[in-house]
Amino acid sequence: MTELIDRLQTGDTLSDGEWRFLIEGGYDRQQLFEKADEVRRQYYGKDVYIRGLIEISSFCNNDCYYCGIRKSNDKAERYRLTEEEILQCCGEGYRLGFRTFVLQGGEDAYYTTERVKNVVSAIKSKYPDCAVTLSLGERPRGDYEIWYQAGADRYLLRHETASRVHYEKLHPPYQRFAERMACLQALKEIGYQTGAGFMVGSPFQGTAELIADMRFLQAFLPQMVGIGPFIPHRDTPFAEYPAGSLERTLTMVALTRLMLPKALIPATTALGTIHPQGRELGLKAGANVVMPNLSPVSVRGQYSLYDNKICTGEEAAECVECLRRRVAAAGYEVVTDRGDAV
Ligand code: 5AD
Ligand code: FES
């Protein structure tokens, strides 16, 4: 195991059998997590970056089979925030120590090129010391360019799975794997700090698919990688599938840290949802970012991607305080910083 980890860190290509061993082998996981933590500390010390997540719209034109806000879910409650509401969230976030705001939403045509551009400009002129991250799905390259010009710094677009065949089992036919990949490529070329990522334990995912994810990350070299367990949502086609496992998710986080030592890797809300200490365990397995919710409490419950999501009742200030305590108890420290990749 230690020899494989050394090779992973030097950027070696591993064989299928070697990857399979790292992902599912019967070795001591604690040792893997400790090694990942050691690497994380080399670059980032015990700093944990916080990102203020603002869920700007629960309308979505996509129909991903796993997601609770998919357009075919008639039971989903829909809302969208106005520019003014978004700016209020940022104001509150700034006071609480956030220096990155993440605007995330479904693929919602209401958020036109212009509307997003205006809100990005407004945030950047009011908070020039802050980074703005967008997570608004697949858009024409021209939109990405205009928003980048307006000051957006980063973009999160999980690839979801690097296997085309698997991608087609998770999405309707008109959502194209090639288009997803083209968007990621465009974001990177434009100059965004780009985030990719995947769910662990999504339906039809086996070790081969996870190997494809790791090889994709190794080639694409994203600055950010979001990894969380799949969690079923009751009103989706995948309602009856089991959630991804804690151990498998932590393993993928740790392997990602070792392969991409400088990456920004969140301990995701989904991880905190499948286990009461999930986010803390994520940090101890190599994650170095947490993304507390800054959305107004009145809409929190409506941004329901999966069942039993945590932190839907808490005010932003409570969430941040809670996370500061949790992060400190785990042996790390939340810092007031934009938290760019080193
Ligand atoms: N379980 C876990 N993660 C999910 N996402 C969407 N639906 C689910 C689910 N049921 C993730 C996707 C998406 C991100 C915003 O949330 O990976 O990219
Ligand atoms: Fe939200 Fe603990 S992080 S309540």
Query: Sorting pLDDT into bands at 50, 70 and 90, what band is 317?
Result: very high
How far, in Å, CA of 93 to CA of 77, rounded?
A: 25
Average pLDDT over residues 163-178: 98
pLDDT digits (tens, 9 = 90+) for 273-315: 999 999 999 999 999 999 999 999 999 999 999 999 999 999 9
Q: Which atom of ligand 1 is nearest to the CA of 229?
A: 2
Average pLDDT over residues 46-73: 98
pTM exceeds cut of 0.75:
yes
Distance 320 CA to ligand 1 centre (A): 22
* 25 pLDDT more than 90: no
How far, in Å, CA of 166 to CA of 209, rounded?
A: 7
pLDDT digits (tens, 9 = 90+) for 252-262: 999 999 999 99
The protein residue with its alpha carbon nearest to ligand 2, atom 4, reads 319
Pocket of ligand 1 (CB under 6 A): 66-67, 158, 160, 199, 228, 230-231, 233, 270, 305-306
How many helices (DSSP H) and strands (DSSP E) are in the chain?
14, 9
Alpha helices in the chain (DSSP H): 2-9, 16-24, 29-44, 83-95, 113-126, 141-149, 164-170, 177-190, 207-220, 246-259, 269-274, 278-284, 297-300, 316-329
- Amino acid 34: pLDDT: 98
* Whether 259 contacts 249, CB under 8 Å: no
pLDDT digits (tens, 9 = 90+) for 184-225: 999 999 999 999 999 999 999 999 999 999 999 999 999 999
What value does the mean pLDDT of the chain take? Answer: 97
Query: Sorting pLDDT into bands at 50, 70 and 90, what band is 83?
Result: very high
Spatial CA neighbour of 281 closest among 244, 247, 256:
247
Residue whose CB lies within 8 A of the most ligand 2 atoms, among 290, 318, 327, 334, for a mutation test: 318
Distances (CA, A) of 181 to 164, 175, 197: 10, 11, 12
Question: Is any atom of ligand 2 closer than 6 Å to the C-beta of 291?
Answer: no
What are the structural domain ranges in the chain?
A: 31-334
Residue 41 region by backbone torsions, left for phi larger than 0, else alpha for psi between -120 and 50, else beta: alpha
User: Which CATH number describes the domain made up of 31-334?
Assistant: 3.20.20.70
How far, in Å, CA of 57 to CA of 242, rounded?
A: 27
- Amino acid 342: pLDDT: 87
Nearest-10 Cα torsion for 171, 177, 182, 183: 20
Residue whose CB lies within 8 A of the most ligand 1 atoms, among 54, 66, 166, 273, for a mutation test: 66
What 3-state DSSP class applies to 154? Answer: strand
pLDDT digits (tens, 9 = 90+) for 263-284: 999 999 999 999 999 999 999 9
Average pLDDT over residues 85-107: 98
* Whether 162 contacts 216, CB under 8 Å: yes
How far, in Å, CA of 329 to CA of 122, rounded?
A: 36
